Amino acid sequence: MHPNPAIALENQFCAHNYSPLPVVIVKGEGVWAIGDDGKRYLDMMSAYSAVSHGHVHPRIRAAAVAQIDKISVVSRAFYSEPLGNFLKTLCRISGFDSALPMNSGAEAVETAIKAARRWGYRVKGIAANQAKIVVADNNFHGRTSTIVGFSSEPDYKADFGPFCDGFTEARFGDIESFRQAITADTCAVLIEPIQGEAGIRVPPAGFLRELRALCDATNTLLILDEIQSGLGRTGKWFAFQHEGIRPDALILGKALGGGIMPVSAFVADHSIMDLFDAGSHGSTFGGNPLAAAVGLEALNVLEDEGLIDNSAQLGHYLVERLRAMNSPAIREVRGRGLWVGVELDRDARPICEALLAEGLLTKETHENVLRIAPPLSITREELDWGLARIERVFGQL
């Protein structure tokens, strides 16, 4: 039995919608997460990219503390100081005109769905309540009842229906399937450029370019959910830059909160964003001064500290080293930047437990895929430390 009462308390009083590994994390320092027994774990999960900057980044912490000492929550019934600056920087980096700030990723996806439908009715001229959005199979866009309704994962939706109409599924990476799914009533394609929760699935080269051309030819918006893939995770600011395309709108979250708090945004040009008028959409906490101060510094740190180049370089190295292990248990190593899925011939959970004992935090996704996604601030030495332990665990299988 683990001696820490936090485990029993959480098991008794918290809903059982997760099955955590048996470790209690009490502190974080950069790429390290520290357990209640003082043991230091290399965090190779970084909270699904939410901790891309590392834990308690000193600059982001300082920005948060300075803002807390002034004011944290205003509501957008009034103007506040940090919001405009934050979104100006976000627009410069993403290359769009305007952003709508929210909190969780799922809320930003919901914002995108509303924007796409309004555009469908008011610009494309789709008949009332007929707009369709084409999504990919094995997608992950969050957990609201609308979003899980168009998920293909039975666990996410069992007995949560009835679900919302207006979504059509196509096969990820298969342009013909998207061509068939798009009709005159389609307002948008909503897709992850690389599917994270599905197991770091990278589509065939050229797929996004073909999808961009297909959307152009059919007057359909291309909306990319880069909540997990964006902000440097793949070795570029955004995954779409690997294919040299530009989406019509972008959904960001996770790392936008600098490892401190939830910050998300829907980002687009005026032609789409200005379809939101006063009263049409909102969020009590969205764009609050604390979130804006944290989000701005999160972007500045990615830029100033070269974290995106680091992700590209060390990501390449990580994939090479994992492939060179030549473990018979490994079917495929895939990914971009410091975002790697190791597909196994067996359940990944026991391997996550063995890695935990070695001092590594990882997490399985879809039973047989081991996800390796450390903070983008990881050094070569720290990565080597982790790889030595991964090699040891796989060597003993």
Ligand X SMILES: *Cc1c(COP(=O)(O)O)cnc(C)c1O
Query: Which residues are marked as active site?
Result: 140, 225, 254
**Residue among 81, 375, 376, 123 nearest 249 (CA):** 123
Contact track, ligand X, 108-137, x by CB under 6 A? -x----------------------------
- Tell me the closest approach of the beta carbon of residue 49 to ligand X, in angstroms: 7
- Tell me the closest approach of the beta carbon of residue 140 to ligand X, in angstroms: 5
Contact 59, 297 (CB under 8 A): yes
Q: Which of 54, 120, 142, 337 forms a contact with ligand X (CB under 6 A)?
A: 142
What is the rounded distance in angstroms from the CA atom of residue 339 to the CA atom of residue 49? 9
Q: Is 253 in the site for ligand X (CB under 6 A)?
A: yes
- Tell me the closest approach of the beta carbon of residue 46 to ligand X, in angstroms: 12
* CA distance between the termini of the chain: 26
Specify the residue, 142 or 287, whose C-beta has the smaller distance to ligand X: 142
163-192 residues near ligand X, rule: CB under 6 A: 192
Contact track, ligand X, 15-54, x by CB under 6 A? ---------------------------------x------
The two three-digit tokens of residue 351, written as one number: 């391997």
What is the rounded distance in angstroms from the CA atom of residue 299 to the CA atom of residue 305? 10
262-281 residues near ligand X, rule: CB under 6 A: 262
H helical segments located in 218-251: none
Which strand (E) or helix (H) includes residue 101?
Answer: strand 98-102
Specify the residue, 311 or 327, whose C-beta has the smaller distance to ligand X: 311
What is the rounded distance in angstroms from the CA atom of residue 312 to the CA atom of residue 317? 9
What is the rounded distance in angstroms from the CA atom of residue 205 to the CA atom of residue 366? 23
138 CB-near residues (< 8 Å, 6+ apart): 152, 153, 172, 195, 198, 201
- Tell me the closest approach of the beta carbon of residue 107 to ligand X, in angstroms: 7
- Tell me the closest approach of the beta carbon of residue 147 to ligand X, in angstroms: 8
Tell me which residues touch ligand X (CB under 6 A).
Answer: 48, 104-106, 109, 140-142, 192, 196, 225, 227-228, 253-254, 262
